[in-house]
Chain A
Amino acid sequence: AQSVSQHNHHVILSEAASLELGCNYSYGGTVNLFWYVQYPGQHLQLLLKYFSGDPLVKGIKGFEAEFIKSKFSFNLRKPSVQWSDTAEYFCAARGGGGNKLTFGTGTQLKVEL
């Protein structure tokens, strides 16, 4: 069955620390990958997406993610986090040409001043 795993459920960082959130997927064939963020009291927002091409994808607010096909991973990174990055982060995957997004369980990130 298709699935997405996020291994870090809660992460606490100090401002200016570097961030890496793990995401692994199990899909055969072509896969589309996404990271969404949910700030407190707000709706899910798209951070970045990967369809094909350059495996290093840059998104909004200084976030980036790297697609590593051999590891079935799509980890999210940011060199220096800010207090305003406190939010829940969801990785999602979709089989190429499909319509259903499969989400991970989310990672709650707290950035302390």
Chain B
Amino acid sequence: ETGVTQSPTHLIKTRGQQVTLRCSSQSGHNTVSWYQQALGQGPQFIFQYYREEENGRGNFPPRFSGLQFPNYSSELNVNALELDDSALYLCASSLSGGAPTDTQYFGPGTRLTVL
């Protein structure tokens, strides 16, 4: 167990809807990264938050947005859901985003299905 928790575990939405996924980071960690893992693929980096600021973004459209709170927990919001957004969404927490020795520890993920 890494101490990283995510909610909900599973979610079913329809196209066009909006969704919010939540992540609580491991105690003492100030950085949260979000990844999308499609079936049969490795995780792909969406973005990272470090001390409440976005600290890097992958190749995802602006309808993927995030937030980090003062307690370092984080939300991932996806607007105007598309069928291709169906995936496992992973949150990873780490001690110091961007530091050379930063190591990310993953939560169990939220399985999103878009119908």
Q: How far is the CA of A34 from the CA of B31 in the complex (A)?
A: 18
Q: Is the CB of A98 within 8 A of B56?
A: yes
Q: How far is the CA of A30 from the CA of B90 in the complex (A)?
A: 26
When distances are taken between beta carbons in the complex, the residues of chain B under 8 Å from A87 are none
Q: For the complex, is A62 an interface residue (Cβ under 8 Å from B)? A: no
Residue of A nearest to B48 (CB): A99
Q: Is the CB of A105 within 8 A of B98?
A: no
Q: For the complex, is B89 an interface residue (Cβ under 8 Å from A)? A: no
Report the interface size class on chain A. 20 to 34
CB A1 to nearest CB in B, in angstroms, measures 10
Query: In the complex where A43-B2, A43-B109, A44-B90 touch, is A99 in contact with B102 (Cβ < 8 A)?
Result: yes
CB A35 to nearest CB in B, in angstroms, measures 12
When distances are taken between beta carbons in the complex, the residues of chain B under 8 Å from A98 are 56, 98
Q: For the complex, is A90 an interface residue (Cβ under 8 Å from B)? A: yes
Residues facing A in B30-46 (CB within 8 A) are: 31, 33, 35, 40-45
When distances are taken between beta carbons in the complex, the residues of chain A under 8 Å from B104 are 101
When distances are taken between beta carbons in the complex, the residues of chain A under 8 Å from B66 are none
Residue of A nearest to B57 (CB): A100
When distances are taken between beta carbons in the complex, the residues of chain A under 8 Å from B98 are 97-99
Q: Is the CB of A49 within 8 A of B42?
A: no
Q: How far is the CA of A75 from the CA of B104 in the complex (A)?
A: 20
When distances are taken between beta carbons in the complex, the residues of chain B under 8 Å from A44 are 43, 90, 106
When distances are taken between beta carbons in the complex, the residues of chain A under 8 Å from B106 are 36, 43-45
CB B88 to nearest CB in A, in angstroms, measures 10
Q: What residues of chain A have their CB less than 8 Å away from a CB belonging to chain B?
A: 4, 30, 32, 34, 36, 42-46, 49, 51, 90, 92, 96-106
11 extra interchain contacts, Cβ-Cβ under 8 A, other than A45-B2, A101-B43, A102-B45?
A: A44-B90, A45-B106, A51-B101, A97-B99, A98-B98, A99-B50, A100-B48, A100-B58, A101-B33, A103-B42, A103-B43
